[in-house]
Chain A
Amino acid sequence: MRRLLWELMQRTSIEASLDLTAVRAADPKLFRHPFLYWAGSGAVPDFSEEEARRLRRYLTFGGTILIDSADGEPGGAFDVSVRRNLARVLPREELVRIDNEHVLYKSFYLVDHQGGRVLRVPDLEGIFLEKRIAVIYTQNDLGGAWARDSFGRWEYSIDGGERQREMAFRLGINVLMYALCLDYKEDLVHTPFILKRRR
């Protein structure tokens, strides 16, 4: 994630802190950070009642979570845990496929391919609260594609080559841009430019 933030600052006007903060779902500091990145592999424990309540409030009032499965295995332990926990946090909502035409895919880059260490699922999934995507879920291990070691080398090789890694960065930047600008790129003023470039 730190590498993504570094790229974000290099490529966009956004200023970000490279000091990542880990927070627990029940921690009041959660609300200092309107964007959460939850990555993992294997089974994760269930949220407590208080944690689920806090996260529900967080997401309902404007927070965004990017969930990134490093399992590379749809239906794997992490995937099952995530879906079970999300059902507790937002019991009336469900994860749905995010359409390729969604503003998320044009919030900064015009993205028409998925990126990640692996390509196990063709689309992002998300939970929509009103019209906003509050939860974005990928099972293609974006974090694996972003990661560098302390010597600056990529930690993982990518099945689809460097283009797929670049797409992972672009997708990550688009997700962060979406969290900050929402549907800005759907304003009428952008439409003719975007249509022209997509032709």
Chain B
Amino acid sequence: MGWLVRLLAPDAQPGAYNDWKLVAGTDLASSWLILIALGLVVAVVLGASGLRRLAPSRRRSLLVLRMLAAALVFALVLMPEIELRAVSKVRSRVVIMLDASRSMGLATPGGSTRAEMVSDHTSRNAEELSRLGRDALLEISLFGDRVRNVDGVPDPIPSEDGKTDLAAALSELAVQSSGRDLGAVILYSDGTDTEGLSLDAAQRLGANLGAPVYAVGFPSDSSAADLAIRRIIADEFAFVHNSVAVDVEIEERGLSMSSVMATLKRDGQVVASKEVRLGPDGRGRVTFEFKPSEIGKLAYEISVPVQQGEAVVSNNSRSLVMKVIRDRLRVLQVVGRPSWDERFLRELLKRNPNVDLISFFILRSTTDLQKAPQEELALIPFPVAELFTTELDTFDVVIFQNFTYRPYNMARFLPRIRDYVEQGGSFMMIGGTDAYEDGWYAGTPIATILPVRLGGAPAWDGAEFRPRLTPEGRRHPVTRIGEVGEPPDLVFQRLPPLEGVNPTLGLAEGARSLLVHPSLPGNPPVIAIREVGRGRTMAITTDSIWYWRFLALAEEGAGREFDRLYNNALRWLIRDPELARVRLRSDRAVYGPHDPVSAEVRVLGPDYDGLGGAEVEADLIPIGPNGAQGRATTTITAEDGSALLDFGELAPGMYLLRATAHSGGEAVGAAEEPVVVEAADRELQNPFPRPEILEAVARASGGRYLEIDEGLPEIRLKDSRRVEIDRTRRVPIWDRWPFFVALLGLVSLEWWFRRRGGLL
């Protein structure tokens, strides 16, 4: 380098420049340069075209000379210069990252908080940090919810952030380069990452950082005594009536426990309790297996008892919300005797791929003659006990079709069917000469759940009639069985009349009638529905609905009304969310203790388009003994039928969010959704230090992990690749005599070759 400076800038002081660069000094625009380059190319090509009759070796020599001359001319046009530079390396930066999350405020066995111990560590190592400050630019950042730079180590170090996101904090270092390379990171943290950072991910994080990390953490046994539900592992979705597993990880420190009872609850009711064995490391795992009995979003709470002297009690329980869906609709069809009504319903249900149909038909009664030995009959016993005890809860819908319980010693099982409905099951009774009053149901538990009243009603009336829609039936999804846009009343006028009805004493309390008999006294219901507890029931008081499937074909109909009626009925009975006109969606299922709770409600019109201007009343109702006070709000839906429900911050607990919508003074519907507000924020749910995470990051980065009571080692900085230019000096090289001599020499040599070749 010295000889170059002496050659080009003899007046410069020795050592004034330590770097150089070749640059172009021309001011010509690039378009001009392109034109000149093209002209030179043309000159070379023209020169080559006159060389055909020469020997190949001579032709090549002339061509090379012409090309070299052209290149030299182009170099002269560029006016090359040497830029002499005086450069120096940029100091890299060292970032001291201080964990400002809430877990750093927890006490250590010595009494000081983790944040105080960090503060003490930085004081004790002030000399090493000061030395670092001379070699590198020191930056100090707090991280937790977000990363923010501070001028010095705060006193005290805050511990207020609600989460610890190590990956985000370290990734942000690469972005905030401030024009300097990252030389090293000194990371103070307890490693309680709340974003699920795994050991593998921690290693990748360290390896990709590009600078050594010196992580200062806390030993795993440095936590105050605590018992916590560390983690819940469960699928977001489950199938109703199918076994689902929820894995729970429990951890204790400082309590010397060998086992603990874990309890799974729903709506304050215990679903299961299990003893969890805790290993020498204080950790244990338990799996709860259970079968959800209803669909929808279900909130569960898992808890362990609070122990004396625990540092954090709010992490002894955690919640999860599971969306329970059905795989196939399980329908039990019990038929008193084969009939056309039964046959067409069975055919419909069997055809539906979403229905798992279990049928039981009474093919022979006790009074029928048996003209063949039992082994020549294909009959099986009616498994009453099995169906209505162990299996009952596995069905979504139970249908009694023209069926009387009396001959089958079934009276003892009727209360179970009532309970099944009250707990969320669905029940439909279809008429006939063995149903309702004629089936001896008056005064039984079944009568208490039916939508119609029994007890002295007239017997089966076999006359033909054309049923009439009620105002409720005109709007209800069950009886919307016509073609698109067809007025509901017209549908029932064009369908074949029905034949035979079970007269009843009218509607039961809370029931609604959709279709009625037009002429019998009191217009008894033909189709009626009712909500019973958490379940639903439906009454169809005729056995001739099949006319709408088959007799309708005589008038060139397609029989679709029969299919639609029963499909709608099943969907209504199982509370198919697609049939609901009020739909709720909270922005998340489980909230932290300070998160504002909000949800979106959508109200749909009878045509299932958004219904604007609907009044929505929303209630948050506490569930179970730990529930706090409820809240209520009202709102009006926008043009698209949606509205936002905002409840702000809520006290920890489980809530049922219920929205009820009205439009034009009439009820549209209601929807419910569980909302859980956890007592412990994520920082305190699992407050135990995780040195292994910090160690993984440090090792993979080429740095080191040390515990809080160790002194800082010598921090090895990564070499900085960045330089800064202090001064420059440009020296032209194109206007010197060697350039022109070379050009002249090349032209002369070409002339000489051409002359010898007889070209001149």
Contact = CB atoms under 8 A, between A and B. Distances in A.
Given A170-B372, A180-B340, A31 B550 contact: yes
Nearest to B433: A15
Contact of A31 (B369, B375, B553): B553
Contacts of A28: 554-555
Interface stretch (B29-37, B156-164, B342-350, B504-512): B342-350
A107 interface: yes
Contacts of B363: 12-13, 108, 177, 181
Given A181-B361, A189-B380, 6 more contacts: A11-B368, A31-B552, A180-B338, A180-B342, A181-B346, A182-B350
B343 A34 contact: yes
Nearest to B342: A180
17 contacts: A10-B369, A13-B336, A13-B364, A13-B365, A14-B339, A31-B550, A34-B343, A108-B377, A177-B338, A180-B339, A180-B343, A181-B363, A185-B378, A189-B360, A189-B383, A190-B380, A197-B376
A179 B343 contact: yes
Interface of B: 336-340, 342-344, 346-347, 350, 358-365, 368-372, 374-380, 383, 433, 549-555, 559
Contact of A61 (B375, B433, B550): B550
A57 B380 contact: no
Interface residues of A, number: 38
A32 B499 CA distance: 11
Interface string A1-36: 000000000111111000000000000111110100
B364 A11 contact: yes
A181 B378 contact: no
A13 B338 contact: yes
Contacts of A126: none
A193 B380 contact: yes
Nearest to B339: A180
A82 B370 CA distance: 35
A63 B340 CA distance: 11
A154 interface: no
Contacts of A149: none
Interface in A76-123: 106-110
B369 A11 contact: yes
Q: Which of B340, B363, B374, B376 has the most CB of A within 10 A?
A: B363
A16 B241 CA distance: 40
Contacts of B365: 13
A187 B380 CA distance: 12
B372 A109 contact: yes
Nearest to B556: A57
B368 A13 contact: yes
Contacts of B383: 189
A146 interface: no
A108 B371 CA distance: 12
Contact of A181 (B343, B370, B380): B343
Nearest to A32: B551
Given A62-B550, A177-B338, A177-B363, A107 B378 contact: yes
User: What 6 A-B pairs have minimum CB-CB distances, sorted nearest first?
Assistant: A180-B338, A31-B554, A28-B554, A13-B337, A106-B378, A193-B380
Contacts of A34: 340, 343, 550
Interface in A109-159: 109-110
Interface in A184-199: 184-185, 187, 189-190, 193-194, 197
Contacts of B339: 14-15, 180
Nearest to B383: A189
Nearest to A130: B351
Interface string A156-181: 00000000001000100000010111
A194 B379 CA distance: 8
A4 B552 CA distance: 29
B337 A15 contact: yes
Contacts of A32: 551, 554
Q: Which of A13, A62, A166, A185 has most chain B Cβ within 10 Å? A: A13
A57 B376 CA distance: 36
B364, B433, B550: residue with the most chain A Cβ atoms closer than 10 Å: B550
B707 to A, nearest CB: 64
Contacts of B360: 189
A185 B340 CA distance: 17
B548 to A, nearest CB: 11
A187 B551 contact: no
B368 A189 contact: no
Interface string A49-82: 0000000011001110000000000000000000
Contacts of A197: 374-378
Nearest to B432: A15
Nearest to A29: B554
A109 B371 CA distance: 10
A189 B358 contact: yes
Contacts of B344: 62
A28 B369 CA distance: 36
A71 B343 CA distance: 33
Contact of B359 (A14, A31, A187, A193): A187
A181 B380 CA distance: 15
A185 B360 CA distance: 10
Contacts of A58: 553
Nearest to A61: B553
A116 B659 CA distance: 67
Nearest to A58: B553
A180 B546 CA distance: 12
Contacts of A63: 550
Nearest to B344: A62
A12 B364 CA distance: 4
B378 A61 contact: no
Given A107-B378, A182-B343, A182-B346, A187 B358 contact: yes
Contacts of B371: 10-11, 166
Contact of B559 (A15, A61, A170): A61
A24 B138 CA distance: 102
Nearest to B360: A189
Contacts of A31: 550-554
Contacts of B358: 187, 189
A58 B347 CA distance: 16
Contacts of A187: 358-359
Contacts of A182: 343, 346-347, 350
A24 to B, nearest CB: 13
B372 A14 contact: no
A181 B337 CA distance: 10
A103 to B, nearest CB: 9
A108 B372 CA distance: 11
- Among B372, B374, B378, B555, the most chain A Cβ lie within 10 Å of the Cβ of B378
